[in-house]
Homo-oligomer: A and B are copies of this chain.
Amino acid sequence: MKNSFGTSLSVTIFGESHGDYIGITIDGIAPGVEISDSYIREKLALRRPAGRISTARVEADEFSIISGAKDGYTTGSPLTVLIPNTNKKSGDYSDIFDTPRPSHADYPAECKYHGYQDKRGGGHFSGRITAALVAAGAIISYALLKKGIRLATHISYLHGVKDRKFENLYDDISYLNSIHFPTLSVESGDEMRRVIEAAGKDGDSVGGILESAAIGIPAGVGEPWFDTVEGVISHALFSVPGIKGVEFGEGFRLSDMYGSEANDHYRMEDGRVVTETNNMGGIGGGITNGMPLIIRCAVKPTPSIYKEQRTVRLSTMENETIAIEGRHDPAIIHRARAVVDAAISIALADMLVQRYGTDYLR
């Protein structure tokens, strides 16, 4: 299946930016999983644009669960969340129909859908759709939380500015989940915001690097080939718009290390086997080893910028220039973190349910 993910616990996403609704169906979630509307609302709020560094399009994200839930608990049947699109301005996008925007999905979509795609507001490719993903992720991550699995994401790097590294994971995760611009260091956060604002003023945009940590995952989950933990999680993560790289543990930095530096030595700690370092990000041979998962994602700069850009006019096959108007974000990385959390939650839950059975999340 194409726009679906997962085998034992799966999601199917649908909707377009300027349709009446976007939505998502979760299939395979256990019956009796508590649903916290306020928790979902919190997660949606973390994704929502806010303040000077975000788009002027603000959606209320009033979701409704139209199937699979009753009296605050999942029923075990497919659970569908609908989110209405209330703030649509199709007029903004009239320019892009014939002149594909650089590094947007416009041109690849044209090649795939032969002109039938809904082009308004990015259609099915719109970052708007990620609200549905965040809602599904929130339902699932709330269930994971009850099983002692916690995760959060911070902006570890943004155009020259570094955040501090994770230290006490439990506290860092709690802290990150309570703030809207997710950095562990307040100063780094302020500095990053300044960089984003400056780019925005210049009609430009920036990307960055998101770093996620997940704790409480049992050892022994994942498969040696193909359905490795890295393979399954990265598969989900590359659906988050703008992500162009995924690494685990020290990732690309391992190319500068000797084996004697990179290897995570084992030792006993409080009667449990732990590793002294966690350069592998909690995964060995494709399988969890009980250490925290550490995942980093490269987020490209938002492709919508105000500067003039070169493109082609598809109807005449001639070169052309465009300036993209309408509302757009100089950065989406602080919002993408909510989507990254959702994607990781979904992927983790699928692997856990496959390992331990349908009722694992109850």
Contacts and interface: CB of A to CB of B under 8 A. Distances in A.
Contacts of A27: 1-4, 12, 14
A285 B254 contact: no
A179 interface: no
A140 interface: no
Given A21-B66, A124-B75, A300-B254, A4 B3 contact: no
Contacts of A14: 25, 27, 66-68, 77-80
Interface residues of A, number: 156
Nearest to A285: B105
A243 to B, nearest CB: 8
Given A207-B255, A228-B238, A105 B287 contact: yes
Interface string A1-37: 1111111101011111001111101011001100000
Of listed A27, A251, A360, A362, residue having the most chain B CB within 10 A:
A27
A35 B67 CA distance: 26
Interface stretch (A51-59, A145-153, A219-227): A219-227
A176 to B, nearest CB: 19
Interface string A262-288: 111111100101011001110111111
A238 B230 contact: yes
Given A108-B284, A231-B235, A305 B23 contact: no
